[in-house]
Structure 1
Amino acid sequence: MKNLRLLTWLDVRRTICRKTNYGTKLPEGVARMDSFSNALEIGLDSDKNIDSVKSTLKEWFGDSYQENQSIIQLDLGNESLSVEFSPGEQLRIKDKYIRPFWDEITYIDANSAIKLPEPYRENPNLLAFYSFNDGVEKTVNLVAYLLALLDKAKQLDNQIKVLVIDAALNTPGLTYWNINETDKSSISYINFLELVHYSPVDEEQTLLFIAQELQNSSKQEGKSTVYFLPAYINDEQLLDIEILPEHIITYPNKGWELGDYIHKLGQAVGADYVLIDLGSGLNKISSPILLDTRFQRFLVTTINEPSVAGTALCLSQMKKVAPKTSNNDKYYDPSVILSMLTPEIIASPAYKEVLQRFQSAYIQSEQQNNSTMLEIAETYLAPELLYIDNWEDASSKLASTSILENAANWANKQVDFNKIILENLDPVVIEKLQVRATRQGRNLLEELKVIVEEALQEETISLESK
């Protein structure tokens, strides 16, 4: 990596973050290294380590660190940053907790052990849709997955509940679609963020209140129910956002609370699935969810270079919080959806290069044979989707597209629909399943999924050997 010029104190901070793995690997005897606009403060456990730390600063900053004056010379004008040592501080006992923000994850090397949040063992299942660029059919893909879930439930004569959240505060497309609906929600995602941060009542009451508000505007789709939490209620709220996702997880030694609150809200309305539109771009609005491996995350992109480069960048950071084993149904690797494709594009050398770039971006060092656990789906250009005005319009235009076909393929694999099979099994079989599941530390549905996957794998091997 090319060293940045030291134009401001922020460049000094970036250098220190990079050299110390975001403060997780400080030099010996150093308790902290904090950069401010007027000084770099270095906390030490004792005076005996000052000389070694000065040598480290010389190694990191070269001639810019002037030991005799105890300053770091900046590269603009004759300005400098004072270096102040503070002996007698206590060394950190616990490891530094890395939060799901780009500006923290970027400084962590791929081999660092980042503590993942506790997995969810009960519904709802969480899905998040993201794109680096706008205009790549991200929101349309979310709607396709919603329609696929509802259609699958209808086929099986089952009923499900789905909560859809427009968390795209910078580009709230779903909310705009919803403006002309008769039964609009009286509560928004902005309200949700404010209430979990500043609620005058306890958490249980807060979530119950939000759930009741959502139920008032719910929609029936056959036997199933859809709840929608818009990004905002009125323009004033959108233009005056005080609490953002980053505020929910700024407390010390925490980092995954936003996902927890969304999961709890889904439970409060009895949802089987929560689908979240994350918006686009690199920001702290999306990163707490995009970096949370408990979510099934779909990155939607075209093969245009800005979109490809941004998606690959996201994947390169997401791999740092990736599940360490492939046989893990508690955490998820991300998926990429390549949109607006044509047969000519797929046949081109550029397309093969894009696929390789995505796979290379997410490959993990411990993986063998250069394999990755990144799934990539393809969807074709459908001109009718270039203009969509509302939910009904989206549903109608998606009907015969590859986007809906891809979503249907995903819906067919969902373990929740195996509940129906489970409910019709012989009680003796269920009892044996329970014993096996308990032994493996799984619930019945998880065990059923494992058995089905093992059977399909054996069938595939058998067919290949013939």
Structure 2
Amino acid sequence: MTEFYTYLDVLNRLRDGETVRSAPREVLRAQPLPSRLALSLLPQAAMEPVKAWLRQTFGPRFLEDELAIALEATSSASPRLLPVEFERVEEDWKTGQRLRLRPTLMSGSVVVYNMPYEVAETDDLGDCPPVLTFHSFKGGMGRTTLALALAAAVHKVHRRVLFIDADFEAPGISSLLKHSMPKPRIAFADLLAIAATSSEIEANDAIETVAGRLADQEIDGLIVLPCTRDLGLPSVSPETLTLSGKRSPFFVGSLVARLGKRIGADLVIVDLRAGLSELVASLFLDPRLQHVLVTTLNGQAIDGTIMLLDRMREMASKWRAASSTQFDASLPTVIINQSPPGLTEAGFGQESALAAMAVFEEEIRLFLEQLRSSDQLTDAPENPFQEASITTSIVDADPTVTILPRDLRETQRSLIRTNLPDQMYSIFGSLVPLSAPSVLGQDRVLTDANQRRERLAEYARKGIFAESQPQADIYPTDSLVNLAERHQSAPPTVTVIGEKGSGKSYTFMSLALSKTWGTFTQKLGVGSLKQPRSSEALVLPVTPPQDLDRDAREAERKVTAETARALTGGMPLNDQLIADAVQRQLQRPDAGSAVVWRQFWLDMIAWRAGFTPGTPEAFGRFTEALLPGHAVVGIFDGIETLFSRLRSSEQEQAAVEALLRLVPDWLSQLPTKNVGCVIFIREDLARYAMVNNFKQFADRYSAFALRWNWAEASALALWIAQQSGSLPSTIAPESLASLDEEQRSQELVELWGWKMGPNTSREARSLEWTMSSLSDFNRSIKARDLVRFLAESASRSTPSDIYHDQRLLSPRAMRDAIGPCSRDRVFETGEENVDLKRIFRKIEGLVGSQRELPWSYERAHELIGSEDVRVLEDNGVLFRYEDEFFVPELYRSGLNLFYSGGARRKVVTLMRQAAGRGR
């Protein structure tokens, strides 16, 4: 039996995603009608690509000889035909055929393929409070309850919310308001009506009128704008405001955002109508706003939610293609309401409910990942939604909120007694600061602040180089915690990879001064009262860094001697004899054998433990001689000073490869498990040694690699300030790593303020500015650079600086500190990477206007060379944005580069743009 097929099925097929993507450039639009299919083509369109596309789209239903689509069959006749008619547009079609981009959730009867869209000029809402719309495909999803819960959470942190009920057909909060406020003075419908009749394009008179009356509609910090004053249907709907060509189709979003700004709201929440109503399209599809989609595990709700996400994807794609002004086209946050416990009460089994949730979460996750990687969206540096997450969150609604009171005030009180507001704040709290962004009291005396700055500068300066600071304390990064957690039953046998300045030597010294593996793990917060055997393993420095200063070297030697006495009663091979032994081994005929070098390194552990120093084949006898219950962890560092020709010498490569790969493997197979090792190595040196299989090697130890992300670097800054005694220990630094950026910024206000200027200014937030200034364009940040920055900023902050009395580090001192940090970073990077050192010398040789940034594409390749440009890009030292190249602040000053006219570039903006290139 022939499948039923009408012209509406033709329409659905033509607007299918694959059909749209495969449409040839000759086809501009298609409109199936009951009597024909009209295709608009380019003036000189070739017919064969169009016919091939129709064959691909409709298969055997496309009758090429008749130029028709076969529709449904009747009981007594052949299938009816829908003729295909081709209409060629005029030669000047580009000027007359542009389509005005409009927010709509309806598909319409016309499918557009290759015709351009245009976007009317829209307001930049960067200085307005965030606007958060709540929407759902179906009613009864708990959308209004969750919106009210978020409003209650924001009120708890003393912030004001403008709550707009835009659900004209099934008003929620408006009904609740009627009991507390039977006759509201103003409503959303009034705002729309006044704006529709306003002679001003911006309708500022409407905003002023509504704002004046809203002062009487605040309940416990919630400023309510009901849908209408009498719960009736409005005379003016949102879409009617944009029918005129004088206003942007996205004018309603601007209207509510500017109203929020006018009344001093910190957040605007808009409760939208469920479904595909055009009443919600003008707000829900506005790419400048932030959106929430609420759903349950109902199958229809799942399908509808994904359809709404796809409509937003389409709008964001068209916006980007048509607009010269890019905004942050934020995807909705998807909230799954009514989680499994509620489902089980409704008759579903717990396992089946969890399985249903897992399937839906995965479906949503894959869809969001597709959007994130589709390069359809863009970030705006000043947009308030820049920090908002694309996330799928599960909300467990308290049973007590399933039936809410009829009064708005009582509803708020009911919600605040549950954990629902906290759940909502954990998702959206980044839009609103936790508390006033100034925590320093005015009663703190200036001399005390100066003393604290001095302590911070002194402590940080000593910590710049571990070689000059015999410091046992250490910050518990994820990689170090992994190292401790995964080696509790037996001593570790690992290699720890890190770039220069990542904290290798600092970790080496902290481990050495801990004296036992258990003490080290306890510093990292790992371990229990019942310690495993590995915790008693003594730490033995085998090859310490060669450039330790007198105090640090004396501390390391003391630990080595104590460990040797405890293990063997002997004296360890001294540092100079270690270097001599390495050089003698390099001169041997079998110096290219990794197996020979493995035995050498194992013997070195025995020699440093005081067991027959200098005698060959010592290691086997050493392990047998260890008393029962005794164990040792040999730690290695300073490889670069022992092997100066590693890049080119096969013998040195064999030596280091044996240490990194063969020694840990050998020790891990010891039946007695009484000897372990931790080998610290610079990443570039490991690459030179592991010529053929570095990636496999690095992946094996990736969990322990010393790489810092921005969250950990923020926590390190707080940790250093607390360790120096400059800030009180009111919060554990490691807890910062689990906070979002907004909350981390709040916790670091006392250190460097909320912003790089007044709290109300448009200056960058201090935290993001610091991380951006100290990172390369791969967002790689090194601990040493951060420590150096703290030392420089603290020593440069003076009483004459603005905001000196509001924070430890003043904005002026922080900006001035970047110069010396940049110069040291250029030098240290060159010492680590010979290719970059060569390129840096080339850049430092530029003169006059050659040093002026940004470089054009042609200029960069002319000055540096195409291959070297690629090397700089790979290493995060150069970033191309559109047709210009930029250098991060971390390297710019040190390379003696500048911006024209002495302009101060927005380092945060550049870093965001660089971060967005991988999406």
Shorter chain as normaliser: what TM range?
Answer: 0.7 to 0.9
1:124 corresponds to: 129
- Secondary structure of the corresponding residue to residue 402 of structure 2: helix
Kindly state the Cα deviation for residue 321 of structure 1 after the two structures are TM-superposed: 5.7
Kindly indicate whether the alpha-carbon contact (under 8 Å) linking 1:70 and 1:83 is maintained by their aligned counterparts in 2: yes
Greater alpha carbon shift after TM alignment, 357-366 vs 164-173? 357-366
Q: Distance in 2 between matches of 1:124 and 1:189?
A: 18
For the pair 1:101 / 2:104, whether they are aligned, the reply is yes
2:339 corresponds to: 341
Sort the Cα spacing of 1:389 and 1:257 in 2 relative to 1 into closer, same or farther, 3 A. same
Kindly indicate whether the alpha-carbon contact (under 8 Å) linking 1:319 and 1:364 is maintained by their aligned counterparts in 2: no
Q: Which has the larger radius of gyration?
A: 2
Greater alpha carbon shift after TM alignment, 113-122 vs 176-185? 113-122
Sort the Cα spacing of 1:84 and 1:443 in 2 relative to 1 into closer, same or farther, 3 A. same
Structure 2 matches for 1:449-460, cutoff 5 A?
450=768
2:252 corresponds to: 258
- Secondary structure of the corresponding residue to residue 289 of structure 1: helix
Cα deviation code 1:224-253 (max 9, x no counterpart)? 5x4322122335x42xx5543344455679
Kindly indicate whether the alpha-carbon contact (under 8 Å) linking 1:131 and 1:301 is maintained by their aligned counterparts in 2: yes
1:447 corresponds to: 765
Cα deviation code 1:325-373 (max 9, x no counterpart)? xxx99553422333333557598333333322221232226649xxx94
Kindly indicate whether the alpha-carbon contact (under 8 Å) linking 1:193 and 1:244 is maintained by their aligned counterparts in 2: yes
Sort the Cα spacing of 1:84 and 1:146 in 2 relative to 1 into closer, same or farther, 3 A. same
Aligned partner of 1:205: which letter? D
1:314 corresponds to: 308
- Identity level (%): 20
Aligned partner of 1:399: which letter? I
Kindly indicate whether the alpha-carbon contact (under 8 Å) linking 2:415 and 2:421 is maintained by their aligned counterparts in 1: yes
1:359 corresponds to: 365
Sort the Cα spacing of 1:365 and 1:294 in 2 relative to 1 into closer, same or farther, 3 A. closer
Q: Distance in 1 between matches of 2:367 and 2:153?
A: 30
For the pair 1:420 / 2:437, whether they are aligned, the reply is yes
Structure 2 matches for 1:39-438, cutoff 5 A?
39-46=36-43, 49-50=46-47, 52-66=49-63, 71-75=68-72, 77=74, 80-87=81-88, 89=90, 90-92=92-94, 98-103=101-106, 120-153=125-158, 160-182=159-181, 184-199=183-198, 203-215=203-215, 217-219=216-218, 221=220, 224=221, 226-234=222-230, 237-238=232-233, 241=234, 243-249=236-242, 255-319=249-313, 330-341=328-339, 345=350, 348-364=354-370, 367=373, 373-410=390-427, 412-417=429-434, 420-421=437-438, 433-434=756-757
Q: Distance in 2 between matches of 1:270 and 1:432?
A: 20
Kindly indicate whether the alpha-carbon contact (under 8 Å) linking 1:148 and 1:411 is maintained by their aligned counterparts in 2: no
Q: Distance in 1 between matches of 2:54 and 2:354?
A: 50
Aligned partner of 1:206: which letter? A
Kindly state the Cα deviation for residue 394 of structure 1 after the two structures are TM-superposed: 1.1
Kindly indicate whether the alpha-carbon contact (under 8 Å) linking 1:188 and 1:229 is maintained by their aligned counterparts in 2: yes
Q: Distance in 2 between matches of 1:423 and 1:206?
A: 40
Q: Distance in 2 between matches of 1:87 and 1:54?
A: 15
Kindly indicate whether the alpha-carbon contact (under 8 Å) linking 1:152 and 1:412 is maintained by their aligned counterparts in 2: no
Kindly state the Cα deviation for residue 69 of structure 1 after the two structures are TM-superposed: 5.3
Q: Distance in 2 between matches of 1:428 and 1:247?
A: 51
Q: What TM-score, normalized to structure 1?
A: 0.73
Question: What number of residue pairs does the alignment pair up?
Answer: 428
Q: What TM-score, normalized to structure 2?
A: 0.40
Aligned partner of 1:86: which letter? E
Q: Distance in 1 between matches of 2:163 and 2:56?
A: 51
Kindly state the Cα deviation for residue 274 of structure 1 after the two structures are TM-superposed: 0.9
Kindly state the Cα deviation for residue 191 of structure 1 after the two structures are TM-superposed: 3.4
Q: Distance in 1 between matches of 2:45 and 2:397?
A: 65
Kindly indicate whether the alpha-carbon contact (under 8 Å) linking 1:318 and 1:362 is maintained by their aligned counterparts in 2: no
Kindly state the Cα deviation for residue 427 of structure 1 after the two structures are TM-superposed: 13
- Secondary structure of the corresponding residue to residue 180 of structure 1: helix
Kindly indicate whether the alpha-carbon contact (under 8 Å) linking 1:174 and 1:230 is maintained by their aligned counterparts in 2: yes
Kindly indicate whether the alpha-carbon contact (under 8 Å) linking 2:217 and 2:225 is maintained by their aligned counterparts in 1: no
Kindly state the Cα deviation for residue 275 of structure 1 after the two structures are TM-superposed: 0.7
Q: Distance in 1 between matches of 2:393 and 2:754?
A: 38
Kindly indicate whether the alpha-carbon contact (under 8 Å) linking 1:65 and 1:73 is maintained by their aligned counterparts in 2: yes
Sort the Cα spacing of 1:47 and 1:20 in 2 relative to 1 into closer, same or farther, 3 A. farther
Kindly state the Cα deviation for residue 180 of structure 1 after the two structures are TM-superposed: 2.5
Cα deviation code 1:154-176 (max 9, x no counterpart)? xxxxxx44221111123211111
Q: Distance in 1 between matches of 2:178 and 2:26?
A: 59
Sort the Cα spacing of 1:407 and 1:64 in 2 relative to 1 into closer, same or farther, 3 A. closer
Kindly state the Cα deviation for residue 96 of structure 1 after the two structures are TM-superposed: 5.3
Sort the Cα spacing of 1:220 and 1:376 in 2 relative to 1 into closer, same or farther, 3 A. closer
Q: Distance in 2 between matches of 1:388 and 1:432?
A: 42
Sort the Cα spacing of 1:313 and 1:148 in 2 relative to 1 into closer, same or farther, 3 A. same
1:464 corresponds to: none
Kindly indicate whether the alpha-carbon contact (under 8 Å) linking 1:338 and 1:378 is maintained by their aligned counterparts in 2: yes
Kindly state the Cα deviation for residue 178 of structure 1 after the two structures are TM-superposed: 1.6
Q: Distance in 2 between matches of 1:402 and 1:428?
A: 32
Q: Distance in 2 between matches of 1:297 and 1:390?
A: 27
Q: Distance in 1 between matches of 2:15 and 2:438?
A: 52
Kindly state the Cα deviation for residue 405 of structure 1 after the two structures are TM-superposed: 1.9
Q: Distance in 1 between matches of 2:238 and 2:292?
A: 19
Greater alpha carbon shift after TM alignment, 201-210 vs 426-435? 426-435
Q: Distance in 2 between matches of 1:123 and 1:399?
A: 27
Greater RCO (Cα-Cα under 8 Å, separation 6 or more): 1
Cα deviation code 1:174-226 (max 9, x no counterpart)? 111122233632433333334434446652223322333433x32253xx5x4
Kindly indicate whether the alpha-carbon contact (under 8 Å) linking 1:102 and 1:283 is maintained by their aligned counterparts in 2: yes
Aligned partner of 2:86: which letter? F
Q: Distance in 1 between matches of 2:257 and 2:167?
A: 18
Cα deviation code 1:408-439 (max 9, x no counterpart)? 4356534545653299899996799259x9xx
Sort the Cα spacing of 1:336 and 1:208 in 2 relative to 1 into closer, same or farther, 3 A. same
- Secondary structure of the corresponding residue to residue 360 of structure 1: helix
- Secondary structure of the corresponding residue to residue 210 of structure 1: helix
- Secondary structure of the corresponding residue to residue 285 of structure 1: helix
Kindly indicate whether the alpha-carbon contact (under 8 Å) linking 2:396 and 2:420 is maintained by their aligned counterparts in 1: yes
Q: Distance in 2 between matches of 1:431 and 1:150?
A: 21
Higher strand share: 1
Kindly state the Cα deviation for residue 294 of structure 1 after the two structures are TM-superposed: 3.0
Kindly indicate whether the alpha-carbon contact (under 8 Å) linking 2:313 and 2:371 is maintained by their aligned counterparts in 1: no
Q: Distance in 2 between matches of 1:432 and 1:161?
A: 21
Aligned partner of 2:337: which letter? S
Aligned partner of 2:355: which letter? P
Q: Distance in 2 between matches of 1:287 and 1:295?
A: 12
- Secondary structure of the corresponding residue to residue 267 of structure 1: helix
Q: Which runs of 5+ in 1 are unaligned?
A: 154-159, 462-466
Aligned partner of 2:94: which letter? R
Structure 2 matches for 1:1-20, cutoff 5 A?
6-8=5-7, 10-18=8-16
Sort the Cα spacing of 1:51 and 1:333 in 2 relative to 1 into closer, same or farther, 3 A. closer
Kindly state the Cα deviation for residue 127 of structure 1 after the two structures are TM-superposed: 1.1
